[in-house]
Amino acid sequence: MSVHKDLIKHAENQNKSYQEFLALDQQREMYIEEAVELCKQGNPFSTDKINEVTNRMNKINLRIISIRKNVTAEMVQEYVNKLR
């Protein structure tokens, strides 16, 4: 029975990590949208908040999730240019 309990505990921990990852992913997307909007308007922007969240996401050890890349100001600018 202890193996069963260990498996349940492991699954619960994986689910908790996955939910944390999803919340961070939403936050990251929000920060990306914010940077894109500022860039579109010609206003200064930073990718610091995006990359802080990205680094936190990458520290969550989930094998089913790929590592997220840090975002540069150039990447945001290139994206905005493609939209135009």
DSSP code at position 54 = H
Q: Is the pLDDT of residue 1 over 80?
A: no
The total number of structural domains in the chain stands at: 1
Instruction: Residue 40: give the domain boundaries.
Output: 2-83
Which of 69, 56, 75 has its CA nearest to residue 17?
A: 56
Q: Are 57 and 39 in contact (CB under 8 A)?
A: no
CA distance 10 to 55: 23
For 41-61, the pLDDT digits (tens) are 999 999 999 999 999 999 997
Is 2's pLDDT higher than 90? no
Instruction: Summarize pLDDT for 11-32 with one digit per residue, the tens.
Output: 899 999 999 999 999 999 999 9
The model's pTM: 0.87
Asked whether the predicted pLDDT for residue 39 surpasses 90, the reply is: yes
